[in-house]
Amino acid sequence: MDARVVIGSTCSVGIGPEHGGRSQNEDNFLVALRGSALSRDDLGELRRVEAVGNGVMVAVADGMGGHEQGEVASAAAVQALAQLWQRGRPRDAERALAEWLPAAHSRARERLVPTGRVNLGSTLTAAWILGDRLGWIQVGDSRLYRLRSGTFWRLTRDQTHGEFAQRDRREAGPNASYPAQSFIYGSRGLGHDHELRLDPGLDSGTFTLSVGDRLLLCTDGLCGFVPDDRIAQVLARSRDPQEAADDLVDLAVESGSDDNVTAVVVHVRSLPIAAPEEEPSEADDDTLVPWDD
């Protein structure tokens, strides 16, 4: 049995080109739980796949601005992640994600190299709930936050040149704030272009859930324009995760965001009493709030 959660998700183009924003939505998301995986396809249409998976998996992906077909890259990221959700149940979600991501990245690049379309890129922030534990992983500068008992934490670190320079104790250079790597595109001056750098404990993690936890996964169209304390206020005041996701996207637009904006909000309602290895009960009522643009 797994934690019972309620999920809200909003994936918006933002202000649109008529107001100086993006002409299309290169963001994507994944909400996968018992019997259903919800995301957007690479044409921007809502895609719901009826499938049997393991636990609860959520993710956001942001196609890299300026790269070709960012919407294709973000769709590929979440669709590949949904396939992982449908495989056997791992004992350690963080380890499974950390093993899967570099392999999926390499396979995607191998398929794209003959077509000449390697200049695709996407961030990917994913969380996998199994039992009462959550494992997460991060590539790029989308984010995962947790609100617990009034304390708001950013669990992820933006993978910028400055972040990696700080880890390596070297000078960041003039492009410190620039993204350092992405899913499919690879690294930018951090080593071999086809490889990803994932430092355990910094780019991935695990924690035990508590009843009342509120989680947020979002792209930088939100967190790049709205301060963390304002985000925390919205999460704290809303009892409905879909309302919180909608309000956060609206707040990003009001705060001057000209980017695509995606927010996935998870409320933890209860934790399993039985051991995680047991089969889920038919009475368990995980709730998926439908996505709305």
pLDDT tens digits for 242-262?
999 999 999 999 999 999 999
Task: Please tell me whether residue 38 adopts helix, strand or coil conformation.
Answer: strand
The C-alpha atoms of residue 236 and residue 275 are separated, in whole angstroms, by 30
Instruction: Yes or no: say if 18 and 11 are a contact pair by the CB < 8 Å rule.
Output: no
According to the model, what pLDDT value does residue 290 have?
38
pLDDT-derived band at 268, boundaries 50, 70, 90: very high
pLDDT single digits (tens) 204-216 = 999 999 999 999 9
The C-alpha atoms of residue 32 and residue 52 are separated, in whole angstroms, by 9
What mean pLDDT do residues 90-94 have? 97
Element (H, E) at 215: strand 214-218
Percent of the chain scored above 90 by pLDDT? 74
pLDDT single digits (tens) 168-226 = 999 988 889 999 999 998 887 776 778 899 999 999 999 999 999 999 999 999 999 99
According to the model, what pLDDT value does residue 65 have?
63
Report domain extents, the chain.
Answer: 4-288
According to the model, what pLDDT value does residue 285 have?
39
What mean pLDDT do residues 19-33 have? 93
Percent of the chain scored above 70 by pLDDT? 91
According to the model, what pLDDT value does residue 109 have?
87
Instruction: Yes or no: say if 50 and 32 are a contact pair by the CB < 8 Å rule.
Output: no
According to the model, what pLDDT value does residue 288 have?
45
According to the model, what pLDDT value does residue 160 have?
95
CATH number for the 4-288 domain, one of 3.30.110.30, 3.50.50.60, 3.60.40.10, 3.90.1150.10?
3.60.40.10
Those residues whose C-beta lies under 8 Å from the C-beta of residue 169, and which sit 6 or more positions away, are: none
* Structure token digits, residue 158: 């933006």
φ, ψ for residue 102, nearest 5 deg:
-60, -35
According to the model, what pLDDT value does residue 191 have?
67
Residue 281: is its pLDDT beyond 50?
Answer: no
Those residues whose C-beta lies under 8 Å from the C-beta of residue 189, and which sit 6 or more positions away, are: 161, 180
pLDDT single digits (tens) 119-143 = 889 999 999 999 999 999 999 999 9
pTM: 0.91
Residue 293: is its pLDDT beyond 80?
Answer: no
According to the model, what pLDDT value does residue 193 have?
74
Average pLDDT, the chain: 90
